[in-house]
Amino acid sequence: MSKDFSRMEDSNRSINPSIHEVSDPARRLFVKGGMAAAVGGLFAGLAGCATPAEGGKSLLGFKGVPVSTADSIVVPEGYVAQVIAPWGDPVGLSGDLPKFKPDASNTAAEQEAQLGMHHDGIHYFPQDGSKNGLLVMNHEYVDDGLLHPDGMKTWSAAKVRKAQAAHGVSVLEVEQQDGQWRVVLPSPWARRITASTPMAVSGPAAGHALMKTAADTSGRRVLGTLNNCGSGITPWGTYLTCEENFIFYFKGPEQPSAHEARWGLRKGDPTGYRWHEHDERFDAGKHPNEPHRFGWVVEIDPLNPSSTPVKRTALGRAAHEGATVAVTRDGRAVVYSGEDARFEYIYKFVSRDRIQPGGARANAELLDHGTLYVARFDANGQGQWLPLLHGQGPLTAAKGFADQGEVLIKARQASDLLGATKMDRPEWIAVDQKRGEVYCTLTNNSNRGGERQPGTDAPNPRANNTMGHIIKWRESGDFHGERFVWNHFVLAGDPANARPEAKGNVRGDAFACPDGLWMDARGVLWVQTDMSTSAMGKGDLAGLGNNVMLAADPTTGEIRRFLSGPRGSEITGVTTTPDGRTMFVNIQHPGESPSERSDPANTKAVSSWPDGPAGGRPRSATVVVRRKDGGVVGA
């Protein structure tokens, strides 16, 4: 059964707003170079494709790699790639270190002390600069066909526990010697956080009536985090993990309410996780408030292995792809987050208080107080951040919001009423702190312009948007402002396509379905693609091979292919050491079949990466990329 959430994430039936249902004057203005004048000079120099390189020197110093369909990692000439930290390797908690069993016969208890499946967002926290540090990474979901020796042929409480243990977050200590990296085993920093780990709830929705369940009458203690997709970090040294497609872990009631339907809850168990069969809290018919306890950004302090992760409700409930932090000039934190679902929204949170020196402890409540906004992109290239504040505008008790907690739990409905812009699946967000600019990948939306679906608009200008795009905005004044100006950094595509809407306007190497997005210290924008395995190699994607990571120069707009993944994989998170000489890239779901659930009798049908034909099954893993001459990656 398919777990392709992207085919299902389409539950926004709100009628807001029709003002975008026009062609794309913003883009035309932009192409003519007239946009800066049109919006009072605010956007000067923001043009992704029109501004000549400053100083004429490109940020990209490597030779691009070709399109590949090989079952291997491809990196540029002069680079090497090393695999570390595959799913199932021990994480290095003290005590016994359970080795990975290639036949997938590790128990749930062993999985709790091993890396989870399906690596996603990742960050390197330096301990000894660029030689030793902590890698913190997400494990988004599982392929039960690979996780158990017989897949889902039999089903049991033990299998549910193992699946839950393969979700969440891993904290690993890693170190380098002569350019080779290894996971330190055992390590006092090592930690697994899973779909069963106790977590605290903080912020305005903590303790809310809608957060209380039979097992937690306080509404403040939740077991676990799941579907941990993108990630972020804070300036005070913590890690943000994001709960993306949480709703699909729940069996829906016979007749979902309008509220449940708005969040995509369906009758039965459409994605086939089957957790509710042995863990009743995942039966939303019996426990209707349990889904309210997911869909949050969770803050983890990796430097304190005994700390309790905290679900930060002030940032709003959503199918959060990621969470990226910017800092205002007066020292407040701004958290940007997209909601990866068709026709959903882009949010930002601005903290009330300033960041304090003193690390996590000194900023323990910083993300609990502030204002959450949702984005409206206007057709004239300007935009407005709309505050989700109880008592303001339509967000009243009469409209179904008893208090601020309910506004945050029902952030989608609140955004509908405010007239936020329905986007083409907002994924990762990258912040250019120096230039005050923000980028967001809009991965694709083949429903755009479909029958009884929203039509094209200025920010989402292509019907049947199979290729995706990257939108870019600049805040007015500072990151805390309520106004911004926007344009498209790039419309992804392949000029070889016959369909005009699928050609795109890429200056450089063709690509589709941008997802992961991160700006490095030099200002290079790294773009990772997620063409779904059901669509790869066909139709508009026929000429694009495997999923890739590209590097973009924001000044010139040039985009160059840097790395290609093995068959059936998606490229997910990326991070570097502080010296920029080591890059860690996550490879998710190598070998995934178009059905997204592997055949346990034929585990290597698509890929045997990284263990090769002698291995038991493909495994998600982290790839360490370095230059042979030890130089800065990408330069």
Residues that bind Ca ion (CB under 5 A): 229, 515, 530, 570
We find the least distance from the C-beta atom of residue 528 to ligand FEO, in angstroms, to be 10
Cα–Cα dist 148/600, whole Å: 8
Residue 140 is a binding residue for ligand FEO (CB under 6 A): yes
Residue 228 near residue 136 (C-beta atoms within 8 A): no
Binding-site member from 301, 427, 553, 592 for ligand FEO (CB under 6 A): 427
Tokens of 38: 């049109």
We find the least distance from the C-beta atom of residue 515 to ligand FEO, in angstroms, to be 6
Residue 470 is a binding residue for ligand FEO (CB under 6 A): no
Measured at the CA of 476, the angle between CA 472 and CA 480, to 5 degrees, comes to 95
Cα–Cα dist 321/432, whole Å: 19
Residue 2 vs 127, nearer CB to Ca ion: 2
3-state secondary structure (DSSP) of residue 361: helix
Task: Tell me which of ligand FEO, Ca ion, none is bound by residue 140, counting a contact when its beta carbon lies within the kind-specific cut-off of 5 to 8 angstroms.
Answer: ligand FEO
We find the least distance from the C-beta atom of residue 258 to Ca ion, in angstroms, to be 27
Q: What are phi and psi of 347, to 5 degrees?
A: -120, 155
Q: Which long-range contacts (CB under 8 A, 24 or more apart) does 493-499 make?
A: 493/467, 493/540, 494/467, 494/540, 494/541, 494/543, 494/544, 496/543, 497/540, 497/543, 499/540
Residue 10 is a binding residue for ligand FEO (CB under 6 A): no
Residue 427 vs 457, nearer CB to ligand FEO: 427
The interface with ligand FEO within residues 198-237 (CB under 6 A) comprises 229
We find the least distance from the C-beta atom of residue 176 to ligand FEO, in angstroms, to be 29
Q: How many residues bind ligand FEO (CB under 6 A)?
A: 7
Q: What are phi and psi of 549, to 5 degrees?
A: -120, 130
Residue 183 vs 229, nearer CB to Ca ion: 229
Task: Tell me which of Ca ion, ligand FEO, none is bound by residue 407, counting a contact when its beta carbon lies within the kind-specific cut-off of 5 to 8 angstroms.
Answer: none
We find the least distance from the C-beta atom of residue 137 to Ca ion, in angstroms, to be 13
3-state secondary structure (DSSP) of residue 246: helix
Cα–Cα dist 93/172, whole Å: 9
Binding-site member from 243, 244, 269, 437 for ligand FEO (CB under 6 A): 244
Binding-site member from 321, 378, 406, 424 for ligand FEO (CB under 6 A): 321
The interface with ligand FEO within residues 493-522 (CB under 6 A) comprises 515
Residue 340 is a binding residue for ligand FEO (CB under 6 A): yes
We find the least distance from the C-beta atom of residue 321 to ligand FEO, in angstroms, to be 5
We find the least distance from the C-beta atom of residue 229 to ligand FEO, in angstroms, to be 3
Task: Tell me which of Ca ion, ligand FEO, none is bound by residue 570, counting a contact when its beta carbon lies within the kind-specific cut-off of 5 to 8 angstroms.
Answer: Ca ion
What track of x and - describes contact with ligand FEO for positions 20 through 59 (by CB under 6 A)?
----------------------------------------
H or E element that contains 80 = strand 79-84
Measured at the CA of 307, the angle between CA 301 and CA 310, to 5 degrees, comes to 70
Report strand pairing: 437-442 vs 426-432.
antiparallel
In which residue are the tokens 């369940």 written? 213
We find the least distance from the C-beta atom of residue 167 to Ca ion, in angstroms, to be 15
DSSP states of 525-572 as a string? Answer: EEEEE---TTTTTSGGGTT--S-EEEEE-TTT-EEEEEEEPPTT-EEE
Residue 378 is a binding residue for ligand FEO (CB under 6 A): no
Residues that bind ligand FEO (CB under 6 A): 140, 229, 244, 321, 340, 427, 515
